[in-house]
Chain A
Amino acid sequence: MSDINTAQPPMPAASQRRHFVRSVLTNPTGLVASLALLIVIASAIFAPLLAPNDPSAVQIFKVNAVAGDGYLLGGDGSGRDIWSRLVHGGRNTFLGALITVVIAASIGVTAGLFAGFYGRKLDLVARWISDGIMALPALIVLLAFYQALGASIYLSMAVFGVMLSPGFFRLTRNLVNGVKHELYIDAARVSGLSDLRIITRHILLSVRAPVVIQTSIVAGIAIVVQSGLEFLGLGDPSTPTWGGMLQDAFSNIYVSPQAILWPGLAITATVASLVLLANAIRDRMQQGGVQVRAPKVLPLAASEPLPPTTSDMLLDVRDLVVAYPANDGWREVVKGVSLSLKRGEVLGLVGESGSGKSQTAFAILGLLSPGGRVLSGSIRFDGIDLGKPSGDEVRALRGKRIAYVPQEPMANLDPAFRIGFQLVEPMMTVLGISRAEATRRALKLLARVKLPDPERVFRAYPHEISGGMAQRVLIAGAVACSPDLLIADEPTTALDVTVQAEVLDLLRDLQKEFNMAVMLVTHNFGVVADSCDRVAVMKDGRIVEINTVADLFAAPSHDYTRMLLDSVLEAGRTRTYRPPMTEGMRA
């Protein structure tokens, strides 16, 4: 389903950047968070104007005083003005956070850029150091270093910055690894730009937004840790700090309990704003520019009484429309497909990637990707309506009467479980048989799909067998409960050319043996000619032509079919040897 997730180009240009900032601010969370942050920072900067009293001035009769009488929030344990200390406390907090962030980001991003870009030894060493630093309990190290660093909290915060640099390092390194093989980086390299220039101009640009998010998070962590250190009594006792205020309030908790609220609220509000701002930026990035509204679910068209189907009709799909949520409502990937299969018939479903053939198959199985929906149309299997939104009907049939063979064999076996278990579990569920009986049948099936040494395969984990063997295992799993309908989604595309023919032969044999109807999704007319009775050609979510294989090859009626056929034939003429299945990607 590569057609659903389109790759995003890196965001260029200053106008885009302004647009980005504006759209973060129009998000309500982003706006509130930015405003709150602005207020807290401004009140720290203008603390001398906002504070009515000297934060260190002691008035003995105001020890633990309640609010009022010149002390807006009351007095602390030494008779100092809590409000004045609160606004002044922001200054040292923000300075400390700034130091931490600058050091963490400059070390982490630089190391990440170079380690990611050059890889190998440098990357190995940098990762070991980064893992090592991450294994240290930061607060304990800061405490241990306290005597060495001296009373200034800022030195501790600088060391803390070093300890938080792995976060930036890992982030940047992974991002660089992701983009360094992009075409525009290769282009820059070919055009003769120096590595340093590529790193600073092109790569740094594409890691900017995640680094901003990380900065916001790290600033929050720094504020929490700094207040923790000050709460423990580290730092200069003569400077008003939020952590120090909490320490003072804690020792007077029985006398003046409300005093622990204010500094804590200040810390929480500040850090929460930073996190929410980071979330707003992240949300904005993930949406890739447009606000996604959850589209309204359209009611399925009222089920008109369907014309009766003939008794040998197994699958009857009419006017099927499948859609996924998109920026503005629904994006249709299947636009009114009708097709039918008789018992024992093999239907080829052919088309280019993105033509909707896999989505049609998944809709019949009731296994559309998250978000996907059948908007209208009907799917009937042996007289049973499968189109109901609950999906109960099709769930009861899956594995038992409708089976599925996927495209990528290695990705379709659960890597954490032995192959035997993955065959035994569905049989026990679907057929209600004992484990021993299921094991016996599974071994027989593995032998039937011509796997050498079924016992060994049964005990193996998926990563221990080859792709061709895995596809045989998946076919064995599909036919385990003798289904009436087998849906094969490009079953040979991912396999080596030599294995493709064997797997197709196996499918054909099994089709005859079980008299299964098969829906063979493919983009390859060679496969169609070999295996199918009829063929349907899909383009842009519609079936443009459906006919018996012989008639369609002899006289294609639609231009698109002719074009597809021609391209296969031409390829055959101009090259001495061409594997039959490499001319396109999957749908």
Chain B
Amino acid sequence: MIRYLLKRVASGIALLCLVSTITFMMVFGATGNVARNILGENATADQVTALNSRLGLDRPLMVQFGDWVSHAVRGDLGPSWTMSESVASALASRLPVTLSMVTIAVAMMALLSAMLGIAAAVRGGWADRAIQIVSVAGFAMPNFWLGLLLVLTFSVKLGLLPATGYVSFSASPSAWAASLVLPVTALVLSGIASASQQIRGAVIDALKQDYVRTLRARGVSPRSVLYRHALRNAMPAALTVLSVQFIALLGGAAVIERVFAIPGMGSLTVSAALIGDVPVLMGVVVTLIIVVVLVNILIDFLNAWANPKVRMS
């Protein structure tokens, strides 16, 4: 078990190093126009050269990379090129916003798709059809368009919920919740589509196993067969879906945050990408990879709990 987890951690660190390197080469290797982007069209050539040298862009790429790495391992991701704060502090204020939104969305999605998936696996019929419709709709409707429709309906037409903007939890828990209702709804639908189908399949598979027949033959109640035995055995598959969905939602949050003007990682990434604030982009990628690696390790832990075989090896 310990060895298994250590292996996963090592694999995560390797992934982090590899992706950071590739991303660095991509984003810092293409900084030719960044100074002009930042200074605007009317900047003189001298101003551009001066900015390039101030940002350290006139050094060889490998030197820049070594410099970045030596600071990054100490938690210093450098200053932002366009904002007056450091990358680390920008991330620190943005990450909790996105994480809380995505976590709530994943939890809701897990709950709803488990209910729908189990109902479809056991009953078939209406639940099966509901899943089919939801999965096609959830897949085909871009979540930001759904977000726009929600804004149009609930904010512009009905005036029930705030259209945009974000209130921090510490400022007002109820306003915080209200500001998250629409974005979370928009995020959840697309996820339910694939998650509920996977859970349905996993439960059907579990119910087909020989030991289910034996448990029934022993007089174990149908409820226990489904909720205790089949569900526990369907858990690994369900957890895998959730980890995939978590990653998808982190990306999807970028567009959703734009629609609802939520100051999270996504809107930070978009503005940094459009203007070319390269240190911020590096910081975002590194941070999100760390988050993903941590979430995957958490999923591994849960998996080990559900599946004793994993625990042993």
Contact = CB atoms under 8 A, between A and B. Distances in A.
Interface of A: 128, 132, 134-141, 143-148, 220, 224, 227-228, 231-234, 246, 249-250, 253-254, 257, 260, 263-264, 267-272, 275-276, 279, 362, 365, 367, 369-370, 395, 398-400, 402-404, 406, 408, 411-417, 422, 425-426, 429-430, 461, 463-464, 474, 477-478, 480-481
Given A231-B258, A250-B259, 10 more contacts: A138-B251, A147-B30, A232-B255, A246-B144, A257-B152, A271-B139, A416-B306, A429-B220, A463-B308, A477-B214
Contact of B224 (A272, A398, A429): A429
Nearest to B218: A426
Given A253-B151, A408-B210, A426-B220, A143 B270 contact: yes
A545 B248 CA distance: 63
B26 A413 contact: no
10 contacts: A136-B292, A137-B250, A139-B252, A144-B269, A147-B31, A228-B144, A279-B132, A367-B217, A413-B211, A461-B312
Give the 3 A-B residue pairs with the shortest CB-CB distance, closest first: A399-B219, A139-B251, A148-B30
B273 A143 contact: yes
Nearest to A264: B145
A168 B289 CA distance: 23
Given A228-B255, A246-B145, A415-B233, A398 B281 contact: no
B142 A228 contact: yes
A365 B233 contact: no
Contacts of A415: 211, 233, 307-309
Contact of A426 (B23, B219, B284, B292): B219
A367 B306 CA distance: 27
B308 A146 contact: no
Interface in B120-175: 132, 135-137, 139-142, 144-145, 148-149, 151-152, 156-157
B244 to A, nearest CB: 7
B229 A417 contact: yes
B215 A144 contact: no
A136 B255 contact: no
A398 B225 CA distance: 14
B247 to A, nearest CB: 5
Interface stretch (B11-19, B49-57, B62-70): B11-19
A234 B274 CA distance: 7
B149 A260 contact: yes
A365 B214 CA distance: 10
Contact of B213 (A148, A403, A406): A406
Interface string B223-265: 0100001001100000000001001101110110011000001
A417 B229 CA distance: 8
Contacts of B269: 140, 143-144
B103 to A, nearest CB: 15
B169 to A, nearest CB: 24
B27 A148 contact: yes
The range of chain B's interface size is 35 or more
Nearest to B244: A134
B278 interface: yes
B127 to A, nearest CB: 16
Nearest to A143: B273
B208 A370 contact: yes
Interface in B281-313: 281-282, 284-285, 288-289, 292-293, 296, 306-309, 312
B139 A220 contact: yes
Nearest to A398: B219
Contacts of B255: 139, 228, 231-232
B270 to A, nearest CB: 5
A426 B214 CA distance: 11
A146 B281 CA distance: 10
Contacts of A137: 247-248, 250-251, 288, 292
Contact of A147 (B27, B213, B309): B27
Contact of A145 (B26, B208, B309): B26
Nearest to B155: A253
Contacts of A145: 23, 26-27
A227 B219 CA distance: 55
A295 to B, nearest CB: 15
Interface string B188-227: 0000000000000000000111110111111111001000
A269 B141 CA distance: 9
Contacts of B117: none
Contact of B254 (A143, A275, A411, A463): A143
Contacts of A481: 219
B183 interface: no
Contact of A463 (B11, B31, B309): B309
A362 B212 CA distance: 13
A414 B211 contact: yes
Given A253-B152, A257-B156, A411-B211, A264 B285 contact: no
B34 interface: yes
A417 B305 CA distance: 11
B29 interface: yes
Nearest to A254: B156
Given A144-B284, A411-B211, A264 B254 contact: no
A416 B229 CA distance: 8
B214 A406 contact: yes
Nearest to A399: B219
Contacts of B144: 228, 231, 246
A253 B260 CA distance: 13
A426 B23 CA distance: 57
A460 to B, nearest CB: 10
B217 A404 contact: yes
B219 A264 contact: no
Contacts of A408: 210
B224 A136 contact: no
B18 A416 contact: no
Contacts of B140: 220, 224, 267-272, 275
A425 B148 contact: no
Contact of A264 (B148, B266, B270, B306): B148
Nearest to B292: A135
B250 A276 contact: no
B214 A404 contact: yes
A233 B149 contact: no
A265 B229 CA distance: 43
Nearest to A260: B148
Most buried by B among A132, A269, A365: A132
A148 B282 CA distance: 13
Given A145-B27, A253-B148, A426-B220, A264 B273 contact: no
Nearest to A148: B30
A446 B304 CA distance: 28
A232 B254 contact: yes
A464 to B, nearest CB: 8
A414 B213 CA distance: 10
A416 B141 CA distance: 38
A132 B19 contact: yes
Given A264-B148, A406-B210, A416-B232, A147 B217 contact: no
B34 to A, nearest CB: 7
Contact of A135 (B208, B258, B272, B293): B293
A370 B23 CA distance: 51
Contact of B307 (A270, A403, A416): A416
A478 B219 CA distance: 10
Nearest to A407: B210
A92 to B, nearest CB: 16
B286 to A, nearest CB: 10
A267 B145 contact: yes
Given A254-B156, A416-B306, A399 B217 contact: yes
